[in-house]
Structure 1
Amino acid sequence: MGIQNYYSAATQITNNLIELNSYLQKTLYNRLKNIRKEAKVNDMTSTLQKRYKGYEPQYYKIQDMVFFSIYAQRHKTNLCFSQDTCNYTVEGREKIHQSLKAINKNVLSYVMKNFIPIKTIEYNDNRISKFISQYGKCAVTGTELGISDWHCHHKNPYHLSKDDRFSNLIVLHEDVHRLVHLKDSGKIRDLLNSLQLNKKQKEKVNELRIQCKNTVI
């Protein structure tokens, strides 16, 4: 994946990696024949199925890990960003502040001032960063969050992962957060009727539910 992501800017990335893929497939087929098994698309996670949609190579797996052909990468156009945006110049800081104008300042001030003493410093810092990175909006519904209706959720449950990293956090509306954790079918149905989520939003909720070891809805 690292090679695929790094070289995806090449316009002929699939063709460029076909030769490398032929060597890797021979090694995978011959040297690992005693421990590999044939796999199917459904053996992959939903994220990998989405990433490699449209490619149909021979799938192999070792235990539960599916190996995907390295050539299966589409060209991606690199997004340009301003070199002037930084913390170290007046102009750079001004550009950062401009991007923050979309966030409700009262809510942001509340988030920054209300330290949670029973949580780690890492969590308290990263919840602020995550709130800012989402521009004060719910990651599922996109609605602007108020002072009392937002929650910071651990994608992989903290009691299992002990992970307070930025990448493991996501800011959600209170009702969406409840929907991620609920197991009572009646309460789930009531919340769905209240939230009126579209298909894409339901898929996002289900991704979060699966990470929490809950069933899809």
Structure 2
Amino acid sequence: MTSQKKRTIKNLKEQIKKIKNKTTPKEVNKLNAMILGSHNYYKMATQVNLDFSKINFLVTRTLYNRLKNVMKKEHKISKAYQKLYREYNGKKYTISETTIFPIYGIKTKPPMNFTQETNNYTIEGRKIIHEKLGGNLNKLIEYALRNASEYNSTEYNDNRISLIAGQQGKCGITGEYLKIGDMECHHKNPRELGGTNEYKNLIWVCTDAHKLIHATVEDTINKYMDKINLDIKGLKKVNSLRKLVGNSDIQISS
């Protein structure tokens, strides 16, 4: 057994032990993040499907033995799960209302063949990268899983993670791919005004767009309008969200 495989097994088993000691959605989400992260990291390795089949056998045995008393028979399949693993029909394990990603469910991917045109410094280059990476959706979901807040409800954490998949990893206003460190989950109808944590009341937006939703000072509004350069469709989306938080429409002078 390779050292990488041993390390993957060890890390997953250690997280299972943590779940046994502290059975919370946050800890289960961390396990899912580790599974997805391993799939992302090893998806270009040769014969990786066989490796993850063996990893699945060893880790699932520990998972069942340690957590069988807290497992639920009814499964809660999130939109993120459906997006990433819907074609896998093996046995499912659900703990703290969170269904664990299939450890064996790795999808192999050939290495990207970069050309001189593939770079971040031209419109064409960025387009090629985005088309090949698909906005790096898996990385965004992994990030959200690792950073689920224990101070928010399970409903909120589940819906914010699922919404990344629902929006295809894109900002709900600009349509550009979201980036880790530049993405915020916004309540359309604010909680202080009676808004809920329901899926339909949430939207992922880039940080500048989020600031524009809440901005009230004209100079600040102009600053972020210049930064994100919205078209008419994007402006309508911003204004609809601004209205819900109690702010006036942004007008464009002709």
TM-score (structure 2 length as normaliser) = 0.46
User: Which SS does the other structure have where 2:241 is aligned?
Assistant: helix
Q: Percent of aligned pairs with the same residue?
A: 36
Secondary structure of 1:137's aligned partner: coil
| Corresponding letter in the other structure for 1:189 | N
Cα deviation, residue 107, structure 1:
2.3
Counterpart-to-counterpart distance in 2, 1:206 and 1:126? 24
Deviation at 1:111, TM superposition (A): 1.0
Return 5+ residue gaps in structure 2 as ranges: 1-84, 91-101, 109-132
Instruction: Answer whether contact 1:139 1:170 (CA < 8 A) is retained.
Output: yes
Question: Shift of residue 135 of structure 1?
Answer: 1.0
**Per-residue deviation, 1:147:** 1.0
Q: 1:214 Cα shift?
A: 0.7
Whether 2:232 is the aligned partner of 1:216: answer: no
The 1:110–1:205 alpha-carbon spacing in structure 2 relative to 1, beyond 3 Å, is same
Question: Cα deviations across residues 145-173 of structure 1 (Å, max 9, x unaligned)?
Answer: 11110000000001111400000000100
Gaps in structure 1 of 5+ consecutive residues: 1-84
What is the correspondence of 1:101-120 to structure 2 with a 5 Å cutoff? 102-104=134-136, 105-120=138-153
Distance 1:86 1:121 in 2: 22
Following the alignment from structure 1 to structure 2, what is the Cα–Cα distance between the partners of residues 208 and 185? Answer: 17
> Is 1:171 equivalent to 2:234 in the alignment?
no
Deviation at 1:112, TM superposition (A): 1.3
The count of residues paired between Structure 1 and Structure 2 equals 128
User: Is 1:122 the counterpart of 2:147 in the alignment?
Assistant: no
Distance in 2 (CA, whole Å) between partners of 1:110 and 1:155 is 22
d(CA) in 2 for partners of 1:194, 1:103 = 20
Shift of 1:103: 4.6
Letter in 1 for 2:248: T
Q: Which amino acid aligns with 1:130?
A: L
Partner of 1:150: 183
Work out which structure has the larger RCO, using CA pairs closer than 8 Å and 6 or more positions apart in sequence: 2
TM-superposed CA distance for 1:86, in Å, is 5.1
User: Structure 1-normalised TM-score?
Assistant: 0.54
Distance 1:87 1:213 in 2: 43
How far apart, CA to CA, are the structure 2 residues paired with 1:170 and 1:114?
17
Tell me the equivalent position of 2:123. none
Deviates more, 1:203-212 or 1:158-167: 158-167
Q: RMSD between aligned alpha carbons?
A: 2.6
